[in-house]
């Protein structure tokens, strides 16, 4: 009868782990480490009788199995572990050599700290491994030893690397699915279902879906999109690497968010009978098919892309037919001067086709990115080994350079964090040298564990780190006191301590993890020696020095952290995207004349806008990771970030629209139409530039631009004389001019929600 409570507790433990450790990710890493680390430590210390080899084998296995977990297929993960092992060996050599001279140790720590932390900006592989890489340098640089000991250190780390490769592939291997694939596939399917429902409603008839069915599909799309954003923003680092496929998945999140907005805006009106345009409805159905095939490829990236490519080709063909057919619905014969109602009616004849064109463009962008990501997953082992990517072997290096340069700016949060971390580690090494503490490694460990992106978070982490270290030291000292001279017991306690140290930070708290890690080190450093609890308590002093360094650095290096940088990053992103949209319209103006100019597409403006958007993403990610109350509503922040995406993709759509334009028809110069385009673009992009100024406090937020019936009439009049080509047919140039203005109006319609988000005190 007494066994029932034990069984109940045994059942509750796995349930508690699943509730506090989603997908058991931390438990998986901790279990591997608890098996490997004590085994290697025992092998090196008891069999090889090499304390240096044992220490480096223990910390290398700890960092490679517990502090990192690479994603992707198994081959890709093993390749990343091989790279991490090579980096460990190199950093051990650098740290051992630098530790021999104090000033060299300080300078090398600052340089290596900055390079390791900043390199994470180009790859999540590097970002996720930054702590493990820093530990590879901190351990030898804080433990001066003669060069004759270097082979033993390298042997310990090399042995740990080899065993880590086996453990990752054989001991409870992680599932290969990308964390973004499943939620992205759900968005694609929900949007496809909504498009099919809307297309059926546009067709009318007795079998047309009800308004309620349309709303339910729209709600499902909104929920799926929110889940995708949560999955993307919930990771501390961009969940991608340098590969073309990984970069495509980053763009996919933004594009799916924007697609859901477009689908919602283009839904048929709930009241009244919707106007039907058969070609626009066909484009919606073709786009839905593409999204469904896109979801299939996201679910099975190694599968064949033929179905997606065939669906994409059909969508392009349907889109081309719609663009050609749009000229046939234009009322070619108009009175000499259009009234405002006539102008509105004229523009509304293209409204459904414009919405379909906008949807098709976004869908094609999404399909292309997923196809690229899947192609990267299908590479052979030699291609993966050589880093050959779809699109050319030089692309990853070019992307890395572009991304790094984009963050070498004073307002980059990533640059701030990298400089802060490097300065903190350098000061910690200096203090350790000046104070002559026995184990400066503990000082650097304290510094490394609590550095955050602002002074408040650093101070809070320092308190937790000190509290956790104190509790762990007291518990460790108590264990040593109880054990006395029975040091063999420590061998049995070490795997348990490692297991708890790996699970506690994720399942309990940062302080609990710090306490468990301290107990692990206490046990590790006392195995094979006479247990001395006095030395254990001295480690609290060393950790305290490290925490004090972190707080000091946090106070003097950008103390407001990411919160202060988010507004600047938003302003820069809006400025860059507005410049890109203006450049796109200028490109359109150069292409829409009877004798089009040789103007190039605004590729440089597009790259700059994309770089600013990436800096914004990193600033927002750091802001969300900071502890404490947020002075900006997360809903308002999401609205402002989505506005940047919409503005940039509107520019992409304008460029794509005119790049697809065929041979120009002879005719007038269309000077009036071109002036209307430039004037409309100037007003819209000017509003966004003013919004950027208001976000950094330089001006008040302007009221949104109202729709202008007079401008619409002017647009119709400007193209009225140019609607026909030499054969008397309606000109597709006129259609593209109107669609370009529609894209500008779509950007204008974002303004009310952005203005409300930028001045929440007025809307609250």
pLDDT digits (tens, 9 = 90+) for 261-292: 888 877 766 655 555 678 888 899 999 999 99
Would 615 be classed as within a structural domain?
yes
CA-based end-to-end distance of the chain = 60
Q: Mark whether 473 and 587 lie in a shared domain.
A: no
What are the angstrom distances between the C-alpha of 582 and each of 11, 226, 358, 706, 751? 62, 30, 18, 19, 17
DSSP symbol at 724: B
Percentage of residues of the chain with pLDDT beyond 70: 69
pLDDT, residue 40, reads 95
Please compute the mean of the pLDDT values over residues 439-450 and round it to a whole number. Answer: 65
What pLDDT, in 10s, does the model give residues 751-761? 898 898 887 65
Structural domain boundaries, residue 72: 21-176
Region of poorest pLDDT, from 122-126, 220-224, 293-297, 352-356: 122-126
pLDDT at 340: 62
Please state the rounded mean pLDDT for residues 298-305. 84
Answer whether residue 68 shows pLDDT above 70: yes
Same domain, 635 and 684: yes
Does the residue 256 lie in any domain?
A: yes
Least confident residue range of 59-68, 163-172, 180-189, 316-325: 316-325
Mean pLDDT, to the nearest integer, of 137-161? 92
The mean per-residue pLDDT over the stretch 45-59 comes to 92
Confidence class for position 561, pLDDT limits 50, 70, 90: low
Residue 16 belongs to a domain: no
- 286 touches 316 (CB < 8 A): no
Q: How far is CA 386 from CA 125, 128, 580, 747, in A?
A: 17, 22, 35, 43
Evaluate whether 84 touches 128 at the Cβ level (below 8 Å).
no
**pLDDT of res. 465:** 65
State the pTM of this model: 0.70
Report, as an integer, the average pLDDT of 61-78: 82
* Structural domain total, the chain: 4
Q: How many whole angstroms separate alpha carbon 105 and alpha carbon 186?
A: 51
Q: Residue 382: what pLDDT? A: 44
- Choose the weakest-confidence range: 91-105, 378-392, 393-407, 505-519: 378-392
The per-residue pLDDT for 618 is 75
Give the pLDDT of residue 280: 83
Contact 545, 428 (CB under 8 A): yes
Distances from the Cα of 235 to the Cα of 546, 559, 695, angstroms: 27, 23, 26
Which pLDDT does position 242 carry in this prediction?
A: 43
* pLDDT band, residue 104 (cuts 50/70/90): very high
Clarify whether residues 509 and 588 are in a common domain. Answer: no
> Does 395 fall in a domain?
no
Mean pLDDT of all residues in 515-543: 70
Residue 730 confidence class, pLDDT cut points 50, 70, 90: low
In a domain, residue 6? The reply is no
Residue position matching structure tokens 């990343």 = 80
In a domain, 729, yes or no: yes
Please give the DSSP secondary-structure letter assigned to residue 230. Answer: H
One DSSP character per residue, 235-282 reads SSS-S--SSHHHHHHHHHHHHHHHHHHHHHHTSPPSSSPPP--HHHHH
Q: How confident is the model at residue 656 (pLDDT cuts 50, 70, 90)?
A: confident
Query: Predicted confidence band at 89 (pLDDT cuts at 50, 70, 90)?
Result: very high
Residue 123 φ/ψ, nearest 5 degrees: -160, 135
| Dist. CA 416–CA 565, nearest whole Å | 10
Q: Rg of the chain's alpha carbons, rounded to an integer?
A: 30
Using one digit for the tens of pLDDT, what is the confidence trace for 341-377? 666 666 666 777 888 888 888 899 899 888 877 776 6
Boundary residue ending a domain (377, 397, 422):
377
pLDDT at residue 118, rounded to an integer: 87
Per-residue model confidence (pLDDT) at position 391:
52
- pLDDT score recorded for residue 764: 42
Q: Tokens for 288?
A: 């839905």
Residue 9 has pLDDT above 60, yes or no: no
558 pLDDT more than 60: no
pLDDT band at 54; cut points 50, 70, 90 = very high
Verify that 194 and 243 share a domain, yes or no. Answer: yes
Q: Position of tokens 């796109």?
A: 584
**Residue 581 φ then ψ, to 5°:** -65, -40
* Better-scored residue on pLDDT, 356 or 576: 576
The answer on pLDDT for 190 being more than 80 is: yes
In a domain, 405, yes or no: no
pLDDT at 665 over 90: no
Buried b (16+ CB within 10 A) or exposed e, 409-429: eebbbbbbbbbbbbbbbbbbb
- 204 pLDDT higher than 90: no
> What is the pLDDT at residue 233?
66
Q: Among residues 164, 171, 220, 211, which one has the least CA distance to residue 191?
A: 220
Does 169 share its domain with 206? Answer: no
Task: List the single range of 138-152, 204-218, 644-658, 674-688 with lowest mean pLDDT.
Answer: 204-218
* pLDDT at res. 414: 77
Which pLDDT value is given to residue 96? 94
**Same domain for 636 and 583:** yes
The confidence score (pLDDT) of residue 33 equals: 94
Answer yes or no: is pLDDT of 15 > 60: yes
Rounding to the nearest 10 degrees, give the CA dihedral for residues 555, 560, 562, 564: -150
Q: How many whole angstroms from its chain centre is CA 243?
A: 14
Residue range 467-483: average pLDDT? 76
Domain limit, last residue, from 559, 593, 611: 559
Nearest to 192, CA basis, from 296, 265, 289, 271? 289
Give the CATH number, domain containing residue 187: 1.20.58.220
652 and 630 both lie in a single domain: yes
What value does the mean pLDDT take over residues 32-50? 93
User: Confidence band (pLDDT; 50, 70, 90) for 16?
Assistant: confident
**CB neighbours of 682 closer than 8 A, spacing ≥ 6?**
582
> What percentage of the chain exceeds 90 in pLDDT?
21
User: b or e along 368-391 (b: 16 or more beta carbons within 10 Å of the residue's beta carbon)?
Assistant: bbbbbbbbbbebeeeebeeebbbe
Q: For residues 382 and 373, what is the distance between their CA atoms, to the nearest angstrom? A: 18
Q: Which residue has the higher pLDDT, 595 or 677?
A: 677
- 74-83, 234-243, 570-579: which has the minimum mean pLDDT? 234-243
57 pLDDT more than 60:
yes
Q: Looking at residue 182, what is its pLDDT?
A: 86
Q: How confident is the model at residue 41, as a pLDDT?
A: 93
597/693 same-domain check:
yes
d(C-alpha 329, C-alpha 374), whole Å: 40
Report phi then psi at 234, rounded to 5: -80, -10
Look at residue 134 and tell me whether its pLDDT is greater than 80: yes
Residue pLDDT, tens place only, 619-643:
777 776 665 545 666 678 878 888 8
Are 130 and 267 within one domain?
no
Asked which of 123, 155, 176 is the last residue of a domain, the reply is 176
Specify the higher pLDDT residue, 529 or 363.
Answer: 363
Lowest mean pLDDT among 273-287, 418-432, 546-560: 546-560
- Mean pLDDT across the chain, nearest whole number? 77
Q: Is the pLDDT of residue 11 over 80?
A: no
* Cα–Cα distance measured from residue 674 to residue 63, given in angstroms and rounded to the nearest whole number: 61
DSSP, collapsed to helix, strand or coil, labels residue 730 as strand
- Kindly indicate the confidence band of residue 240, based on its pLDDT and cuts at 50, 70 and 90: very low
Which phi and psi angles does 730 have, rounded to 5°? -65, 140
DSSP 100: T
d(CA 747, CA 653) in angstroms, rounded, equals: 12
Q: Which two tokens stand for residue 383?
A: 């291609």
**In this structure, are 366 and 513 located in the same domain?**
no
Residues 273 and 192 in one domain: yes
- Write the burial class of residue 491 (CB in 10 Å: 0-12 exposed, 13-18 middle, 19+ buried): middle
Residue 724, beta-bridge partner list: 730
Which pLDDT score is estimated for 293? 95
What's the confidence (pLDDT) of residue 85?
A: 94
Are residues 418 and 546 located together in one domain of the fold? Answer: yes
Work out the average pLDDT over 217-226. Answer: 88
Q: Is residue 243 part of a domain?
A: yes
Taking every pair of Cα atoms in the chain, the longest distance, rounded to a whole number of angstroms, is 105
How much of the chain is in helix, strand and coil states, percent to nearest 5? Answer: 75, 0, 25
Residue (of 609, 651, 641, 642) closest to 743 by Cα position:
651
Closest listed residue to residue 719, CA positions, set 677, 658, 661, 657: 677
Q: What is the pLDDT of residue 562?
A: 62
pLDDT for 421: 80
């Amino acid at each position: 009868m007494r066994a029932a409570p034990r069984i109940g507790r045994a059942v509750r433990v796995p349930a508690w782990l699943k509730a506090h450790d989603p997908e058991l990710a931390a438990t998986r890493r901790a279990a591997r480490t608890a098996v490997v680390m004590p085994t290697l430590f025992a092998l090196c210390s008891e069999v090889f009788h090499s304390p240096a080899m044992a220490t480096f084998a223990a910390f290398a296995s700890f960092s490679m199995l517990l502090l990192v977990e690479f994603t992707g297929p198994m081959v890709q993960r093993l390749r990343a572990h091989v790279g991490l092992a090579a980096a460990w060996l190199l950093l051990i050599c650098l740290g051992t050599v630098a530790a021999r001279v104090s000033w060299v140790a300080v300078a090398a720590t600052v340089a290596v700290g900055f390079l390791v932390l900043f390199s994470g900006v180009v790859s999540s592989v590097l970002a996720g491994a930054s702590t493990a890489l820093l530990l590879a340098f901190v351990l030898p640089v804080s433990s001066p030893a003669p060069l004759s000991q270097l082979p033993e250190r390298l042997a310990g780390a090399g042995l740990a690397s080899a065993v880590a490769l086996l453990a990752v592939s054989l001991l409870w291997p992680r599932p290969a699915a990308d964390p973004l694939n499943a939620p992205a596939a759900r968005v694609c399917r929900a949007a496809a279902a909504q498009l099919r429902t809307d297309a059926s409603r546009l067709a009318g008839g007795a079998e047309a879906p009800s308004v309620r069915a349309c709303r339910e599909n729209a709600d499902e799309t909104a929920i799926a999109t929110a889940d995708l954003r949560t999955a993307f923003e919930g990771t501390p680092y961009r969940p991608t690497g340098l590969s073309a496929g990984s970069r495509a998945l980053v763009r996919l999140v933004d594009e799916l968010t924007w697609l859901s907005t477009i689908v919602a805006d283009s839904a048929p009106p709930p009241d009244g009978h919707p106007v039907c345009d058969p070609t626009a409805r066909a484009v919606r159905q073709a786009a839905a098919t593409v999204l469904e095939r896109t979801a299939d490829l996201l679910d099975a990236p190694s599968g064949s892309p033929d179905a997606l490519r065939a669906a994409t080709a059909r969508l392009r063909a349907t889109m081309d037919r719609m663009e050609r057919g749009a000229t046939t619905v234009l009322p070619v014969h108009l009175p000499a001067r259009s009234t405002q109602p006539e102008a509105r009616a004229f523009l509304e004849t293209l409204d459904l086709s414009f919405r379909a064109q906008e949807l098709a463009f976004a869908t094609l962008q999404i399909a292309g990115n997923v196809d690229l990501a899947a192609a990267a997953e299908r590479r052979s082992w030699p291609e993966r080994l050589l880093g050959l990517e779809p699109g050319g072997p030089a692309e990853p290096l070019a992307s890395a350079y572009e991304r790094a340069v984009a963050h070498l700016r004073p307002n980059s949060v990533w640059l701030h964090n990298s400089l802060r971390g490097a300065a903190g580690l350098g000061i910690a090494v200096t203090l350790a040298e000046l104070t002559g503490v026995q184990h400066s490694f503990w000082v650097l460990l304290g510094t490394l564990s609590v550095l955050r992106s602002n002074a408040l978070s650093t101070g809070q982490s320092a308190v937790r780190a000190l509290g956790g270290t104190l509790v762990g030291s007291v518990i460790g000292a108590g264990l040593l006191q109880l054990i006395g001279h029975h040091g063999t017991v420590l061998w049995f306690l070490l795997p348990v301590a490692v297991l708890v140290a790996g699970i506690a930070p994720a399942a309990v708290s940062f302080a609990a993890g710090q306490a468990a890690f301290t107990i692990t080190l206490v046990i590790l450093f006392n195995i094979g020696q006479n247990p001395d609890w006095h030395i254990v308590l001295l480690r609290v002093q060393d950790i305290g020095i490290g925490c004090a360094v972190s707080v000091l650095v946090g106070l003097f290096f950008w103390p407001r952290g990411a919160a202060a940088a988010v507004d600047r990053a938003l302003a820069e992103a809006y400025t860059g995207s507005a410049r890109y949209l203006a450049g796109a319209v200028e490109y359109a103006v150069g292409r829409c004349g009877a004798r089009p100019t040789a103007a190039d597409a605004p590729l440089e403006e597009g790259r700059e806008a994309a770089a600013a958007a990436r800096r914004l993403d990193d600033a927002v990610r750091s802001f969300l990771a900071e502890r404490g109350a947020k002075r900006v509503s997360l809903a308002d922040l999401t609205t402002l970030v989505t506005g940047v995406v919409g503005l940039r993709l509107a520019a992409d759509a304008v460029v794509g629209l005119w790049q697809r334009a065929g041979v120009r028809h002879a005719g007038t110069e269309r000077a009036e139409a071109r002036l209307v385009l430039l004037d409309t673009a100037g007003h819209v992009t000017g509003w966004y530039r003013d919004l950027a100024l208001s976000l950094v406090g330089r001006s008040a937020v302007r009221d949104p631009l109202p729709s202008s019936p007079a401008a619409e009439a002017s647009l119709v009049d400007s193209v009225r004389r140019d609607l026909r080509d030499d054969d008397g047919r309606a000109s597709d140039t006129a259609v593209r001019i109107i669609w370009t203005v529609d894209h500008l109006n779509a950007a204008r319609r974002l303004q009310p929600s952005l203005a409300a988000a930028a001045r929440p005190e007025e809307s609250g």
